[in-house]
Structure 1
């Protein structure tokens, strides 16, 4: 092999290496541009659900709920939260599940929906806040209990071999708008 051939061969190798490096750089840029969303997760009847963390105002230990006569099904009553009245809704009722005993894990998740309404969701327990890439979220399966449930399921995701059902809070609570 002549020196000119060796030089030409070396230039080709360098060009290939540079192209590969640019491809990796482009791939890293795409990865860094991945859209992530944070989900607050909670449990109901042994299943894990998630709602957009930006809609969660706070999580409260269970406190006595004052019943409201004539309230719609699913509305457990009201609580006083630092001078503000908050309506509390049973997630089990929303999901058409039987009631559960209140225990030390039971929480009230105070959420803001429809850009102004504040409501408490009674859940069996809270889990954690997850930062999920949009690419890991799958469409909601077509076969659900009923159309009413399916319309407020935004998607599903598997995390550590557990299914997380991601809810659209605004659609889920549409019946509770004042």
Structure 2
């Protein structure tokens, strides 16, 4: 009888040891999985929002990728170019080089701005030829949230590559930005310009 009691006590102890070991193993496995998931999340690239210069022309708002913008300047007098496209409003000098100025609204087939006050030139980051876009107003650089699905369908112009909404700092404006591809926008003007290199 004493042997059977001892045997049962030994079995119960073994079961307890096994269940305690199993619990420890489960806890360690769970912690290992958690640490591995944390490491994967840290190594995964964080989702970065695109940044764009938000400009206005008429009732429209446009986003120009910040990588394509060299500088924003106040509008200034331009020398007209004879027989040029109506969108090419003229030339001005900057740093010993001529800069062609294209009115954004006219280039997109919109009603051009009437008043010169408060307008800006957006100098694009390109070498030859140097080009600035005339906009009614350059508001700010903003992170943008691209629209998808039905909201992003139906581009009205080749130069518009998508639509987006400004993120947090301009979120009080419930507006949609047309995202511009400046090279597509400039293509018709660069190939048919009457001025060499413009």
Is the structural similarity TM-score above 0.5?
yes
Report the Cα distance in structure 1 between the residues aligned to 2:59 and 2:98, rounded to whole angstroms. 30
TM-score, normalised with respect to structure 2: 0.73
Larger gyration radius, structure 1 or structure 2: 2
Report the Cα distance in structure 2 between the residues aligned to 1:26 and 1:47, rounded to whole angstroms. 42
Stretch of structure 1 that moved more, 122-131 or 136-145: 136-145
Does the aligned pair in 1 maintain the 2:57–2:136 contact within 8 Å? yes
Report the Cα distance in structure 1 between the residues aligned to 2:48 and 2:57, rounded to whole angstroms. 28
Report the Cα distance in structure 1 between the residues aligned to 2:29 and 2:74, rounded to whole angstroms. 62
Which structure: greater helix fraction? 2
Q: Which runs of 5+ in 1 are unaligned?
A: none
Q: Which residue of 2 aligns with 1:30?
A: 44
Q: Which residue of 2 aligns with 1:87?
A: 100
Give the superposition deviation at 1:80.
1.9
Query: Residues 162 and 86 from structure 1, CA distance in 2 versus in 1: closer, same or farther, beyond 3 angstroms?
Result: same
Give the superposition deviation at 1:93.
0.4
Give the superposition deviation at 1:138.
4.2
Residue correspondence of structure 1 range 22-171 to structure 2 within 5 A:
22-32=36-46, 34=47, 37-113=50-126, 116-131=128-143, 136-138=145-147, 141-145=152-156, 149=157, 151-158=158-165, 159=167, 160=171, 161-171=174-184
SS of the residue 2:23 aligns to: helix
Query: Residues 152 and 99 from structure 1, CA distance in 2 versus in 1: closer, same or farther, beyond 3 angstroms?
Result: closer
Report the Cα distance in structure 2 between the residues aligned to 1:104 and 1:11, rounded to whole angstroms. 73
Count of aligned positions: 169
Query: Residues 127 and 143 from structure 1, CA distance in 2 versus in 1: closer, same or farther, beyond 3 angstroms?
Result: same
Report the Cα distance in structure 1 between the residues aligned to 2:38 and 2:143, rounded to whole angstroms. 24
Q: RMSD between aligned alpha carbons?
A: 2.5
Which structure: greater strand fraction? 1
TM-score, normalised with respect to structure 1: 0.80
| Greater relative contact order (CA < 8 Å, ≥ 6 in sequence) | 1
Report the Cα distance in structure 1 between the residues aligned to 2:118 and 2:44, rounded to whole angstroms. 40
SS of the residue 1:85 aligns to: strand
Q: Which residue of 2 aligns with 1:15?
A: 29
SS of the residue 2:37 aligns to: helix
